[in-house]
Structure 1
Amino acid sequence: MQSGLAPPEGPHLTLENLRARAVRDREAALLRLDIHGERFDVSLSGSMNGDALAAVIPLDEMTPDRLTALGRFWSAATGRAVPPDPRMTPQRLRRARQMLRAIDARETGATYRTIAQFLFPQHENDAASWVGSAIRETTIRLARDGMKLVHGGYRALLRRPRRER
């Protein structure tokens, strides 16, 4: 039985490997990488001349997201297929766009009904049914949630959807 960990077999991911793929700031502590169409920002610290790189993951509420990002980075850096980013599903991306469109329209003075006509052109928005309309409620929520994004809530886009427990 060994008392310590044996070094991993095969080649290591090194700083030189990353710098060869850096888009800019090759000498800085931050590398912007474009690997097989995936973009990664890597922050470097410590002495790494020829040594295998290590990742430091803080243990907090963001740990699952960081582990997913690290897995995607490892796949890209080692030439494997990169799994899709689970943070921005097509539905979340579509809703974020709608929220920003709703906020832009509200900032120019558009009414919720006018916004709904542009966001949901396939739905009738007549005056008689507008007050109790599900489209009205959806439009109001899009504008409300869009304001949250604008006032710092955009950071939530960087997290995977979670069920509150």
Structure 2
Amino acid sequence: MRPAQTRSEAGLTWARLDDGAVLVGEVDDLDLRPLGILLPLDENWPIRLAAADSIRRALIDRTADPPLSRQRRDRLKRALRCVDAIASGASYRDVATAFFGTRRLQAEPWKTSSIKAQVVRLTAYGRKMVGGGYRELLRGRSR
């Protein structure tokens, strides 16, 4: 759905999106007219400012870095898969088998396995992310 637009006397167009965000500029023609972002001055100001700068770099400079490296994205995906599997009743061994295969698991005793430790760490990381730790990704501080 297209946001409702209001034109000010100064020639700026204000558009309020369904989620409450306000865009300032010419919404129809972003390449020809400047676009503004209004940010609330709250406790998340630094995060919002960094996100706005990322948007600017992506839209205008075309130099924005990906928010997460491929390695971090892959780790996050595996961690969330671990949480889903454990919540569905799978054991750590089941998860490890799905990730690494039966042959690799048989190479060392399960009780002291480095693979078991890795799955436990991934699950703990996934639980942290699900429990609100994903906000740390926005702050650029999550490992």
TM-score, length basis structure 1? 0.58
How many residues matched?
Answer: 126
**Would the alpha carbon gap of residues 118 and 110 (structure 1) be closer, same or farther in structure 2, given more than 3 Å must change?**
same
Identity of aligned residues (%): 30
| Structure 2 equivalent of residue 151 of structure 1 | 131
The Cα shift of 1:116 comes to 0.7
Q: One-letter code of the match for 1:29?
A: R
| Structure 2 equivalent of residue 129 of structure 1 | 109
Q: One-letter code of the match for 1:82?
A: T
Considering only aligned residues, what root-mean-square deviation do their CA atoms show, in Å? 3.5
Residue deviations 1:46-101, cap 9 Å, x none? xx6889846446475761x43332222223443x3131233x22122111110111
Q: One-letter code of the match for 1:156?
A: E
Q: Give runs of aligned pairs for residues 6-45 of structure 1, distance below 5 A.
A: 24-27=1-4, 29-30=16-17, 43-44=21-22
In structure 2, what is the Cα distance between the partners aligned to 1:99 and 1:133?
18
In structure 2, what is the Cα distance between the partners aligned to 1:108 and 1:54?
42
| Structure 2 equivalent of residue 112 of structure 1 | 92
TM-score, length basis structure 2? 0.65
**Would the alpha carbon gap of residues 134 and 42 (structure 1) be closer, same or farther in structure 2, given more than 3 Å must change?**
farther
Q: Secondary structure at the match of 2:105?
A: coil
| Structure 2 equivalent of residue 94 of structure 1 | 74
Q: Secondary structure at the match of 1:124?
A: helix
Q: Which runs of 5+ in 1 are unaligned?
A: 1-23, 32-40
**Would the alpha carbon gap of residues 60 and 147 (structure 1) be closer, same or farther in structure 2, given more than 3 Å must change?**
same
**Would the alpha carbon gap of residues 122 and 113 (structure 1) be closer, same or farther in structure 2, given more than 3 Å must change?**
closer
The structure 1 segments of at least 4 consecutive aligned residues displaced by more than 4 Å after TM superposition are 48-52, 59-62
Greater helix proportion: 2
**Would the alpha carbon gap of residues 68 and 130 (structure 1) be closer, same or farther in structure 2, given more than 3 Å must change?**
same
Q: One-letter code of the match for 2:139?
A: R
Higher relative contact order (CA 8 A, sep 6+): 1
Q: Secondary structure at the match of 1:151?
A: helix
Q: Which runs of 5+ in 2 are unaligned?
A: 5-14, 27-33
